[in-house]
Structure 1
Amino acid sequence: MLDMLSERFALDALHIKDIRNLIHPPHFTRLENAAMHIILRFPVEKETEDPFSEVTSVSILVDRDMCALVWPGKRFHRFTNADFKGLNVNECASMIIHMLVDYLLSRVYILREEMDEFEEECLADVNRADLGRLLNMRKEMATLARHARTNGIAIEKLMDDPVYKGNLRLIDAHEHMERATAIAESKAEHALNVMQAAQSLLSQRLNEVMTFLAVITVVLTPMGIIAGVFGMNFTHMDVLAYPNGFALSVWGMLLLGAMLAAFFRFKKWW
């Protein structure tokens, strides 16, 4: 197949290598005899539990009489004859590009909805928030933004060609990539803000717990001192013979604890 395309479009070894590269970045090249080669890159869902999407590049070769679409990796869209009925070669190329970028835009929309729902769950109960999963979703959204931005650059270069200048499908495809880039970048930034907010809430709750434990420790400290004094194993301690000594020591401990607690409350430390 590639040998036939190489002969048809006069491809050199470097172009063949680019076509076979599954992760080749988006690129536009003018070939001999008014032919063109455009490479776009898209996410493809893995068939595993890995939350990330793998990436595949797609090559489109066009000349005056032929348009070829090459999938070096996993195919994520099926075209039918009805999709290109009544279209010339250049219109077929622009239709292919338009349908492929629509897939990327729809992936951005789907991931944005998933992230919106998950962010609400995280903020509703930060103690059970899976920030690691949110971080993975943010990384995938940032990857989609990068794909959309580079695809848009390649399409923009194709639109500069006189044959495709003013092509409505390419204009719409380029607008879709700009929209996908804006949405994905905005959502990735928003996810980062949500993660920071969740971490701030967790830190605040941890500080509240530590403050409560510190207050309890300070309140109980005088009681421990009094108990330690009266618990000394000395032979002569006249105060131990006092009839109301035990009651006074207990009330003294309670009074000191209450005074310290009231002082912390007055100072708004607790």
Structure 2
Amino acid sequence: MQVSDLPPSPRRPGSGSARVPSRRIASKLGLAPGTAVFIGERKRQSIRIDLLDFDAAVVHEAHDVSVDDCAGHRDTAMVTWIQVNGIHDIALIEALAGRFGLHPMTIEDIVNTTQRPKCEEFPDYCFVALKMLAYSRASRSIVAEHVSLILGPNYVISFLEDEGDVFDSVRNRIRKALGRVRTLGADYLAFCLMDAVVDHYFLAVEQIGDEIELFDERILMGPRPGDIQEIHHYKSDLIKLRKAVWPLREVVAAISKSESRLLRPEITVFWRDLYDHIVQVIDMVETSRDILASLHDTYLSGLSNRMNEVMKVLTIISTIFIPLTFIVGVYGMNFKHMPELDWLPGYYVVWAVMVVIAIGLFTYFRRRHWI
């Protein structure tokens, strides 16, 4: 185990090496409950475990540690934060879970990246599953990663799909002894991690909200053929946000009302504040969904208006040419005795009549503001 006082390189959601095709939920069919099967996109790199040990006086950091190193910090007097970057190695996850006495059903939820946010209490630990979200401007979509937290008496274990997270602010507060995180124990550390995740929900919702507002302004100037696909793209992102945030409200509500010995009453006020933040995020998501629904109606109305304008122009042109076509049709008939056939100025008079009719109809339409 290598101990370092230097901060690790900055990491962001979605960073990491290339991925291989994901494993489907169907691979669990027929297996006994509690069987650990990784559901998600396979990673080629090996799992890395980072460890951060601290109390009010000192902080120790270690990177790329072993399962045995982690187990040695289970019963220390200091608060320990163990972060597991990668959950695709079932053998390693089960080995770490065995050292901390995790239930097989908990292991199953940890390695299932499709698991909805939930909270479960066990005699020796609490398990929380949630989603870490970020808005990727490159792909213009929401990127979601599965996060699992294990809260023990004096430790927190965080499981991430890949390297890259939103916990840099928490690490800096621990290193620099900012705020209460060094003095309020493991349950407050778990709150800080979840609070960091929810704070980035605000950022993701605001970014996609800005995109929708710009799209709204552009679509009012005139709909384009690809706009309906853009609307459905934003709709799928908002659905992804909603599926991550709505269940988390129930999770935090259950934690704030929990009587577990691992969740001390003096921390309850912080959980209630986190609940309020989640409700704010939900309100922002619902507002964006309402705007998007109105955008769909605006797009269809715009297309209908454009079609009406085209049909109006075609109707006006047809109306102007109908009498002209009638005159031409009459004098195009093959009758031998027609009064005007032998009339010398007849050709010019017919042209004059048709021009007067066309100009008269055009002037009438302009005065009625139809063109």
TM-score w.r.t. structure 2 length?
0.64
8 Å contact 1:44–1:55 — kept in the other structure?
Answer: yes
8 Å contact 1:121–1:129 — kept in the other structure?
Answer: no
Which structure 1 residue ranges, 5 or more long, are not aligned?
Answer: none
Q: Which residue of 286, 297, 302 maps to 1:201?
A: 302
Partner of 1:170 in structure 2? 271
Partner of 2:108 in structure 1? 17
Q: CA deviation at 1:261?
A: 5.1
Identical columns (%): 20
Q: CA deviation at 1:109?
A: 1.5
1:253–1:22 distance in 2 versus 1, CA, 3 Å = same
Q: Once structures 1 and 2 are overlaid, which stretch shifts more, 142-151 or 126-135?
A: 126-135
1:100 counterpart = 2:202:
no
* Paired residues for 1:29-40 under 5 Å: 29-33=120-124, 35-40=125-130
1:63 counterpart = 2:152:
yes
Local SS of the residue matching 2:148 = strand
1:210 counterpart = 2:300:
no
1:42 counterpart = 2:132:
yes
1:91 counterpart = 2:192:
no
Within 2, Cα distance between the matches of 1:220 and 1:76?
Answer: 69
1:113 counterpart = 2:113:
no
8 Å contact 2:135–2:204 — kept in the other structure?
Answer: no
Partner of 2:322 in structure 1? 221
1:232 counterpart = 2:232:
no
Local SS of the residue matching 1:21 = coil
Partner of 1:77 in structure 2? 166
2:129 alignment partner AA: I
Within 2, Cα distance between the matches of 1:58 and 1:252?
Answer: 82
Local SS of the residue matching 2:249 = helix
Q: Once structures 1 and 2 are overlaid, which stretch shifts more, 237-246 or 163-172?
A: 163-172
The answer to which structure has the higher helix fraction is 1
CA deviation map 1:11-61 (0-9, x unaligned): 23322111011121001001123x1101111334569x6443232221111
Which structure 2 residue ranges, 5 or more long, are not aligned?
Answer: 1-91, 175-180
* Paired residues for 1:239-258 under 5 Å: 239-258=340-359
1:148 alignment partner AA: V
Within 2, Cα distance between the matches of 1:172 and 1:4?
Answer: 36
8 Å contact 1:122–1:128 — kept in the other structure?
Answer: no
1:253 alignment partner AA: M
CA deviation map 1:132-186 (0-9, x unaligned): 2233123312321331111111111111113254523322221111101110111
8 Å contact 1:42–1:55 — kept in the other structure?
Answer: yes
The answer to which structure has the higher strand fraction is 2
8 Å contact 2:142–2:204 — kept in the other structure?
Answer: no
Local SS of the residue matching 1:43 = strand
1:184–1:122 distance in 2 versus 1, CA, 3 Å = same
Q: CA deviation at 1:240?
A: 1.2
Within 2, Cα distance between the matches of 1:268 and 1:112?
Answer: 39
Q: CA deviation at 1:82?
A: 3.6
CA deviation map 1:74-101 (0-9, x unaligned): 5332442643433411111111111111
Within 2, Cα distance between the matches of 1:159 and 1:5?
Answer: 28
Q: CA deviation at 1:214?
A: 1.0
8 Å contact 2:134–2:201 — kept in the other structure?
Answer: no
8 Å contact 1:41–1:56 — kept in the other structure?
Answer: yes
Within 2, Cα distance between the matches of 1:24 and 1:44?
Answer: 18
* Paired residues for 1:121-140 under 5 Å: 121-127=218-224, 130-140=227-237
